[in-house]
Chains A and B, each alone.
Chain A
Amino acid sequence: MRIAIASGKGGTGKTTVSVHLAWALAQHHPVQYVDCDVEEPNGHLFLKPEIETQTPVSMPVPQVNPDLCTHCGECSAICAFGAIVATPSLTLTFPELCHGCGGCSQVCPTGAISEVDRTTGVVETGYALAGEPGTGQVAISFLQGRLHVGEAMSPPVIRALKSHIDPDALAILDLPPGTSCPATTALRGVDRALLVAEPTPFGLHDLTLAVEMVRTLGIPFAVVVNRAGLGDNRVEEFCAREGIPIWARLPHDRRVAEAYARGQLRAVPAEIQETLAELAQRLLTEVRP
């Protein structure tokens, strides 16, 4: 079973919710924590995992054989991303712009274009410990993708990361923010999404976009209001009007920010941990693949 923790806006608390949910769920069921925010993975700061495997992620990019190329420009005409440019004497490739579709090699009339692998990121797996030391700790399976610095295309790394998810485990996917390719790539195939939202006008704006995204993808979802008490009542009103269930309200509390800034797991106030544990129970009882 796969549960995605998503948000339209960055910084709403996806990782805080994800790592605490993984921790709470691990007491009942084998859990995989999957950090899909491959541009800036940060779950490791809280779970402090032992990394055991690293698998490079590569994508196919064109290579032009200058002996066969006639600089006809068919390749650049089909490329929507400006990743290949034909000049009268030289055909240039820009691998960092390439989406790996292979169109250029298909249309090349002289067979001058072959595809070569280019490494753009890495998938790392390992484990983290959950539970109080001395009273029976359990392991959380830990997965994260990392896009190499300077690369623009995160979906191939996210897809490679997701191929490592154990179908029998309960997977918590900590998503990248937003509603564009990285978020939708991570969302595909999940059984439920939790949209973390702040009760502010900006939070409502981005929640509205996130709701549109999960509805378009046909994924059942609920909202978690984080920093409740801040801002105004419009997120609550929006959810009531749209018939969207709110599964948890985490109060605005300076101590949560302090724990986050220190990279501390389980340092948030007890009542918030309790709310997150209840949310974990609700996921276990209400969500079925």
Chain B
Amino acid sequence: MRIAFTAADRHPETTLDPRFGRAPFFLIYDTDTADWTSLGNPAVESLQGAGTQAAEALVRAGVAALVTGQCGPKAHRALTAAGIEVYTSTEGTVVGSLAAFAAGRLSTIQAGQQGGTGRPHSGGGREGQTR
């Protein structure tokens, strides 16, 4: 089973990024081999739709679970459509979150409970005022 974590850097001791679509890296732990691999988030600089694009990257990476802080409703819909379970962790680090996951201490985020950490669409959002 492959588990993805949103990460601030490429090593497992790094901070668990509480954002999903805008996390710079995904660290993927394989429970069969106990190996870590890292994946740059292709959506990190997207003008919009970062959540759905990051979700598709994880679908392609073939993970069965995601551990993050929060994820928005659109990303959640894409992840769950692909059968990826989404867990929320308040552990500070990726390794800490893995330990919490292994101990069964993490709960899943269900549809309707998502937070959403993306920024508004830069072209259409009122953010456009300052650009």
Contact = CB atoms under 8 A, between A and B. Distances in A.
Determine if chain A interacts with chain B.
yes
Interface of A: 9-10, 39-40, 73, 76, 79-83, 85-90, 92, 94, 97, 151-155, 176-183, 206
B128 A87 contact: no
Best-buried of A81, A82, A180 by chain B (most CB within 10 Å): A82
A83 B43 CA distance: 13
Tell me if A's interface is mostly helix, strand, loop or mixed. loop
B65 to A, nearest CB: 15
Contact of B82 (A9, A81, A87): A87
B129 A94 contact: no
A97 B50 CA distance: 10
Given A82-B46, A85-B55, A85-B78, A176 B128 contact: yes
Nearest to B51: A82
A81 B81 contact: no
Given A152-B121, A180-B123, A82 B129 contact: no
A83 B124 contact: no
Nearest to B62: A88
A94 B49 contact: yes
30 contacts: A10-B129, A39-B126, A76-B56, A81-B48, A81-B49, A82-B48, A82-B49, A82-B50, A82-B52, A85-B52, A85-B55, A85-B78, A85-B81, A86-B59, A87-B56, A87-B82, A87-B83, A89-B81, A92-B77, A97-B48, A97-B52, A152-B123, A152-B124, A153-B121, A153-B124, A155-B123, A177-B129, A178-B128, A178-B130, A181-B124
- By size class, the interface of chain B is 20 to 34
A235 to B, nearest CB: 18
Contacts of A183: 128
A89 B81 CA distance: 8
A244 B100 CA distance: 63
A155 B48 CA distance: 16
Given A82-B46, A88-B59, A152-B121, A181 B52 contact: no
Contacts of B52: 82-83, 85, 92, 94, 97
A40 to B, nearest CB: 8
